[in-house]
Amino acid sequence: MTAAIIAIVGPTASGKTDLSLFLATELNGEIVSADSMQIYRGLDIGTAKIEPEKRSVPHYLIDIIEPHEQFSVADYKQLADETITNIIKRGKRPIFVGGTGLYLQSVLDGLLFPEPAKDEILRRRLLDEAAELGNEYMYRRLLSCDEDSARKIHPNDIRRIVRALEVYIKTGTPLSKLQKEYRELAPRYKTIWIGITANRERLYKRIDERVDQMIAAGLLDEVTNLYKKGLAPDSTAYQALGYKEMIWYLQGLVTLDEAIRILKRDTRHYAKRQLSWFRRDKRIKWFDYDDYVDTIALYQAVLEHIKKTDLVGLEEPQ
């Protein structure tokens, strides 16, 4: 029988990557990224992508598309299913790690519903309206017809805002309601969910330190290179944390110090939204750094929890 999948979740900068490497070594695992920005080639420093030389075990779903390409949750789900199958065939354990809750739930819980076919004419019209009236106007419009979806989308994520509006206009039903109705009663895979976090002060300090490390590692040069190559303003990659702030600096809209300050602030806000998302899931067993004498003690506690609760009989996708 095959051991359960492990899913490591938590806010940005909480230490998910290091924990995943430890568990993969201890539990014969291979790592599947569940990060909506690490899929893009060239977005390395700003996404805190683990360097190839530090990948002591195989990693998947990193560097799979170009920054200008579109990529949906459905695309991720298909690739993740294929990856799970291949990992299990090799006798290894899939370990998902990342902070993109929708990616994880679409694969492990089957939250993704069959959306209406894309309507390029309608989408173009909505994008034109966004360009003319602004992201804030489109976000308020979504709030008025699908508040649940709007609360899960960043006000500047115009691609997802437009998609939710497109679904509502075509079907007359909010995207969030369609997702809820389609949600499967049982998870698609048997999974052990692990959450890792710290108190607010410690987490925010880790975030600030990570941003400073990114700047020192050459984040501005990375963004400058992408910007010169013509990264499209309506692309998801353009809106990514760390990239849009540096682009504002390159455009002369803010000073570098101001861009860094905004990046730290927005990353803290993002971490808070991630925690709110995952805290709703009662299956997640949370481990807080402040409850342990050091990081190794926390890792050992996570490992013991997995060994005690390890499930068997991994199910095929439904």
Query: Which of 136, 164, 182 marks a domain boundary?
Result: 182
Same structural domain, 196 and 265? yes
Do both 176 and 198 map to the same domain? no
Domain-embedded: residue 314: no
Both 107 and 206 in a single domain? yes
Residue 89 shares a structural domain with residue 45: yes
Q: Are residues 240 and 284 in the same domain?
A: yes
- Mean pLDDT per 10-residue segment, the chain (318 residues): 85 96 96 96 95 94 92 91 95 96 88 65 91 93 93 89 91 82 66 95 96 97 92 81 94 97 96 93 94 96 92 41
Give CA–CA dist 248/132, Å, rounded: 20
Residue 317 lies inside a defined structural domain of this protein = no
Domain shared by 160 and 197, yes or no: no
Q: Is residue 154 part of a domain?
A: yes
State residue 114's pLDDT score.
54
Domain boundary, last residue among 144, 161, 182:
182
Q: Are residues 66 and 104 in the same domain?
A: yes
Predicted structure pTM score: 0.77
Asked if residue 77 belongs to a domain, the reply is yes
Residue-wise DSSP of 96-144: EE-S-HHHHHHHHT-----PPPP-HHHHHHHHHHHHHH-HHHHHHHHHH
Q: How far apart are CA 249 and CA 245, in angstroms?
A: 7
Cβ neighbors of 28 (< 8 A, separation 6 or more) are 91, 92, 93
Residues 170 and 196 in one domain: no
Using CA atoms, how far apart are residues 199 and 288, in angstroms rounded to an integer? 8
Q: Which residue in 106, 80, 105, 77 sits closest to 94, CA to CA?
A: 80
Single out the residue of 8, 15, 48 nearest to residue 198, CA to CA: 15
Give the CATH number, domain containing residue 160: 1.10.20.140
Q: pLDDT value at position 296?
A: 96
What local confidence, expressed as pLDDT, does residue 318 receive?
Answer: 40
> Closest by alpha carbon to 63, among 45, 84, 44, 85?
44
What is the C-alpha to C-alpha distance for residues 126 and 302, in angstroms, rounded to an integer? Answer: 46
Which pLDDT score is estimated for 234? 75
- Find the domain containing 249 and state its range: 5-113+190-309
Give the domain-ending residue among 182, 212, 236. Answer: 182
User: How many domains does the chain contain in total?
Assistant: 2
Do 94 and 238 fall into the same domain? Answer: yes
User: Does any domain span residue 171?
Assistant: yes
Q: Residue 150 to residues 45, 158, 165, 207, 262: CA-CA distances in angstroms? A: 29, 11, 10, 26, 22
Shared domain for 126 and 103, answered yes or no, is no
Q: Are residues 171 and 141 in the same domain?
A: yes
**Residue 316 located in a structural domain:** no
At 97, give phi and psi (nearest 5°). -145, 130
Kindly state whether residue 79 falls inside one of the protein's structural domains. yes
Is residue 84 a part of any domain in this protein?
A: yes
Residues 105 and 124 in one domain: no
pLDDT for residue 137: 94
Q: What is the CATH number of the domain that holds 219?
A: 3.40.50.300
